[in-house]
Structure 1
Amino acid sequence: MSPSKPTSRQFEMQLEIAAPRGAVWSAISSDTELRRWFAPDAKVVPRVGGEILWRWGDLHAWPQVIEIWEPGSRLRTRYDSSIVDGEGGKLPLFLDFFLEGEGGRTTLRLVHSGFGPEATFDEEYDGISRGWPVELRSLRLYLERHAGLDRRLAWCTTTIDLAPAEAWERLTGEEGLAAGSALDALTEGDPFRFTTPAGDVFEGLALCCESRAFSGVATSHGDGFLRIAVEKCGGEHQVWLWLAAYGPAGPGLDELEARWSTMLERLFSASGSMSAGV
């Protein structure tokens, strides 16, 4: 007898955070706290049946319905995938956050489930599998080093028609960020440093290093969160530049964003459309 095929897929990860369970719960369930580490805009109706909305400007909105609301312990939401169910709706996906721990340490476990084995789910599954390790490290960085502080962003994206490998080479090459190929060889905890042609110095410690995607703690910017990526979103490939800073490191981000915007326009103007800020 041949082995049965799996009927669903799920992504699961956990992270240890040096913060009380109540602080971690607030970070995933409060709109004010969510805006300090995750989506630039967030709204939460805090009850079973209430809605959570995460929004990245005009690029992406992620509405969800709360199914389980157990403060300090578990949050579960449901939302529509992009896959039709054959009955006029969309197949649902589910997101669970489980919290455990006492004192000043918390184990956060995330389970993102409901993905079918079909190839039609591949883009969504691959996207969240690459995204959550980055985003939860942003959460950990916020709680361990910047708890209670508002976040400021320098953020630019552009949609491209180039092959992702070529776009990454342009972005990190001498005419772009001048980061070189070193980013591709880093692992979590490795030091990084590069200076752009505009004179901006980025230095710190690597967090997530995937193919054509890098994130790190920018010690050069007050332990800010730096993200550089070429990724697929909504069927299109995008270049993504993001620096989140807190406290005294916040000033100057508008100017940095303007320099990034100019750079992306120069590198990719013939192949896509630009967005800057929120």
Structure 2
Amino acid sequence: MDQKQTERRVEREMEIDASPEAVWRALTDAAELMRWFPPEAEVTPGVGGEIRLKWGEHWDGRCAIQEWVPGARLVYTWMENIAPPDVETGQPSKPLLVDFLIEGRGGKTVLRLVHSGFGPGTDWDAMYDGVRRGWLFELCSLKHYLERFEGLDRRFTWLHRRPAASRDAVWAGLLGAGGLFGAGADLSDLYMGERFTAASPTGEPMTGVVEIFGPPKDFAARVDQLDGGLFRLHIDAYPDRGVTDVYLSISCWGRNEARASDIGRAWEGALDRALAESV
């Protein structure tokens, strides 16, 4: 079977209430990237340049730019050396490609993403699933930033933990009653667009709107007490290695540094307590 016919790809399309120029800047300017995507970014513009995306010591990828058409198209390879090797040759797989198409339409912008090159084998399943789910949230973050907070720096909390438990057990322990959101809240059964109320470790209630809900993997919400900022919990699992990764992130725009740091520390403590007590 032809390899191209068996490759998998992630495809997303969304309308953003912003100009094509603003969307292009958000995709290609390091300061803009850090306002919605990674906590650290570097950009060497143009074909032959690169975009570096970094989440602390956990992910640090250099993306080689293949096409650079300002306001219209951006293509780059995806974070070198993270794809599984070719099962037949044992050699590194060909690079994954990220392709953004930007089109102005009716005073807004339609952004199309194609992330291609995922193999058909089971050795690709975890990566494909993680990237598919990741872009669902990250593009939501991009739209949220450009439509509500364009030009404002983001205060970003990003936490990673690796508990000795299955993904199902971690999900139930964190989102069920008595978990991360307090004894009176059970957030294990929500739907997109639903309003919710829960406790928070900052001492004030947590209310907002569910943006993403995909048990036992993903919960993301727009939170009133963060001035409309974003809260995300996602859980990845690698059963063949006996590994479960828990990630919690909080994006605040317009909050001062001290306040954002206090919020981050409160949630870090709450996550550690909930994992220790319920998992």
Please give the residue correspondences for 1:119-130 in structure 2 after superposition, counting only pairs within 5 Å: 119-130=122-133
Match of 1:145 in 2: 148
In structure 2, relative to structure 1, the CA distance for the partners of 1:147 and 1:153 (3 Å cut) is same
CA contact (8 A) 1:30 1:44 kept: yes
Q: Tell me by how many angstroms 1:267 deviates.
A: 3.3
In structure 2, relative to structure 1, the CA distance for the partners of 1:198 and 1:32 (3 Å cut) is closer
Look up the equivalent residue of 2:220 and give its one-letter code: S
1:214 matches 2:223:
no
In structure 2, relative to structure 1, the CA distance for the partners of 1:260 and 1:220 (3 Å cut) is closer
| Aligned equivalent of 2:263, options 253, 256, 259 | 256
Higher strand share: 1
Q: Give the length in aligned residue pairs.
A: 269
Please give the residue correspondences for 1:67-82 in structure 2 after superposition, counting only pairs within 5 Å: 67-79=66-78, 80=80, 81-82=82-83
Match of 2:248 in 1: 241
| Deviation digits for residues 168-193 of structure 1 (CA, Å, limit 9, x no counterpart) | 12212314223744353212x22122
Distance in structure 1 (CA, Å) of the matches to 2:33 and 2:39: 8
CA contact (8 A) 1:175 1:197 kept: no
Match of 2:180 in 1: 176
Match of 1:12 in 2: 11
Q: Tell me by how many angstroms 1:84 deviates.
A: 1.6
Distance in structure 2 (CA, Å) of the matches to 1:7 and 1:50: 30
TM-score, normalised on structure 1?
A: 0.88
| Aligned equivalent of 2:274, options 260, 267, 275 | 267
SS at match of 2:170: helix
Distance in structure 2 (CA, Å) of the matches to 1:67 and 1:133: 23
Look up the equivalent residue of 1:227 and give its one-letter code: R
Distance in structure 1 (CA, Å) of the matches to 2:215 and 2:22: 32
Distance in structure 1 (CA, Å) of the matches to 2:51 and 2:12: 21
Q: Tell me by how many angstroms 1:224 deviates.
A: 0.4
Q: Which consecutive residues of structure 2, in runs of 5 or more, have no partner in the other structure?
A: none
CA contact (8 A) 2:171 2:215 kept: no
Distance in structure 2 (CA, Å) of the matches to 1:149 and 1:96: 26
